[in-house]
Amino acid sequence: MSPVPDRERKVSPSDSQSSAGGAIGAAAGGAARNALRGMGYGEAALALSPTGVLGRAAIKLGTAIGRGIARTLQGAGDGADVEAPEPLDLTIYQWLIDICVASGAMSAGEVGIWLQAADRSTLLTAITHQPGGATGVDTVVAPDEATTEDGGTVPPGVHLGTHRSSRAYMIDAGADQERTTLEPEAVEGLDGDSSIADYFEAHRERLIGDEFGAGATLTNVQRALHVARTLGNAELAEAIRRKLFRANQYAVIETLNSPDSDRYERTPNSTYCNIYAADFAVMMGAYVPRVWWNNSAIRRLEGGATAVTSAQYNTMVAAQEDVSNVIRPLYPSPGNAGTIREMNADSLAAWFEAYGAGFGWTSVEDMHAAQESANAGQLVIAVAANTAGSGHISVIPSESEEHVARYNDDSEMTSPLQSQAGGTNYKFTDTRTSDYNWWEGRTYHTDGFYVHSGSVSSSVATPEELGR
């Protein structure tokens, strides 16, 4: 056995006192276990291997008690008076235990001993965490700057501002539902006077209850996530985050409601998978362009021109400022080539390949990696161009007990779970009776699966609320 470092021996009781303290500490540990049993923690949870989370926490707690008692024994002759801390009353934090258990990462017994072993001040500060932050996407030019993986400059992105009806514009999350072309899935107590954000929040509240148990709230889930991160329990933090992300993602699906919303209803000549993907991305905090700069504008931007919103441009003109090297989003018109073009699925496939990395999108190998990434709580897009017609783009959401990808008899995934608009609009493609690997069609090309890991700016939620 390695010698104990001097710095530890200076604060440790003598060997005989440690032995006595250890014996009494063992008895105290037994009493603590009995107390935990009385609080409802089962024997299986109390008998885990020391290599596990509970084992480490129990060792830490038992060691602290033993050392406290040993020091008390040692201090009997020198006036020291050290007492073991009183057990934390976990009954007032049942909401925290419930959320941690619902995450699937820990049992009730594990949570109890883990919390008892935590530094009391750190834990109580984390429990009272006040979530903050703000939503974004309040400008038509987003983001201000982006770079490629090799350090090159990417032209700033462009979105058109919110509008009441046009598919080319972003959804105004604060607008009354009646003033939009969306038809969110019905929510009791909400109607046409309620905003899109109201519908999203109501769906998220219900889905958080589905994920974490009846009565769970967004604030308490955020606090539980903060506790796990503050106390260094990465496995628990990730389990909570993934469920929170899925609740938000499914809330977006219910709010956009592609099968019933006029915004995504196909016409004899057009489908709107591109609109749905862009709307979905914006609500989940990522960037997929609804419009993009044309080639001449890109050349000017790469040459040093500055991109501004139309409102900023008009203000500069009114102030008689020089706008010769300024670019605003402008559709083509007679006698004017404009600066932007609307993006269909074909052009989006090219955009992801050329510019996606600058906006936080990373390519993954195949549909299996795409579904794994989605299940890990990441936003995932599938996109491909088509030489014989329109390309396609869809969202790959995370699986749940209710919604799953398609698997064969050998438990091998044959088709990922998807949400989309298009020839047929699906909230979830698991309602289909067959695989849906549309990108495998012989006329599709430049197909790809992209995972978002960049900066987050949502129109309906803060990054922390989204679990991102």
Tell me, yes or no, whether 438 and 296 share the same domain.
yes
Is residue 97 in a domain? no
In angstroms, the CA 448 to CA 385 distance is 10
Tell me, yes or no, whether 312 and 436 share the same domain.
yes
Tell me, yes or no, whether 81 and 156 share the same domain.
no
| Other beta carbons less than 10 A from residue 10's beta carbon | 7
Residue 399, sorted as left (phi over 0), alpha (psi -120 to 50) or beta, turns out to be beta
In angstroms, the CA 438 to CA 436 distance is 6
345, 350, 355, 361: CA torsion to nearest 10: 60
Q: How many domains does the chain have?
A: 2
Tell me, yes or no, whether 65 and 192 share the same domain.
no
pLDDT, residue 135, reads 82
pLDDT, residue 152, reads 72
Is residue 123 in a domain? no
Tell me, yes or no, whether 332 and 459 share the same domain.
yes
In angstroms, the CA 99 to CA 467 distance is 14
Cβ neighbours of residue 334 under 8 Å, at least 6 residues apart?
none
Tell me, yes or no, whether 80 and 161 share the same domain.
no
Is residue 270 in a domain? yes
Tell me, yes or no, whether 302 and 167 share the same domain.
yes
Last residue of a domain, one of 71, 87, 103: 87
pLDDT, residue 61, reads 56
Cβ neighbours of residue 267 under 8 Å, at least 6 residues apart?
none
Is residue 50 in a domain? yes
Tell me, yes or no, whether 181 and 313 share the same domain.
yes
Q: Considering only CA atoms, which of 22, 121, 97, 94 is closest in space to residue 63?
A: 22
Is residue 115 in a domain? no
What are the mean pLDDT values of the chain's consecutive 10-residue runs (468 residues total)?
39 42 45 48 44 53 52 49 73 95 97 94 94 73 65 80 74 85 95 94 98 96 97 98 98 98 94 96 94 93 88 92 92 88 95 94 97 98 94 98 96 97 97 95 92 91 92
Cβ neighbours of residue 10 under 8 Å, at least 6 residues apart?
none
Last residue of a domain, one of 87, 107, 127: 87
Last residue of a domain, one of 48, 63, 87: 87
Q: Considering only CA atoms, which of 380, 382, 387, 400 is closest in space to residue 437?
A: 382
Tell me, yes or no, whether 69 and 152 share the same domain.
no
Q: Considering only CA atoms, which of 61, 82, 15 is closest in space to residue 4?
A: 15
Is residue 405 in a domain? yes
Is residue 377 in a domain? yes
Name the token pair of 193. Answer: 């006077």
pLDDT, residue 133, reads 82
Domain of 370?
A: 146-466
Is residue 343 in a domain? yes
Tell me, yes or no, whether 68 and 162 share the same domain.
no
pLDDT, residue 462, reads 93
Tell me, yes or no, whether 82 and 154 share the same domain.
no
Tell me, yes or no, whether 49 and 175 share the same domain.
no
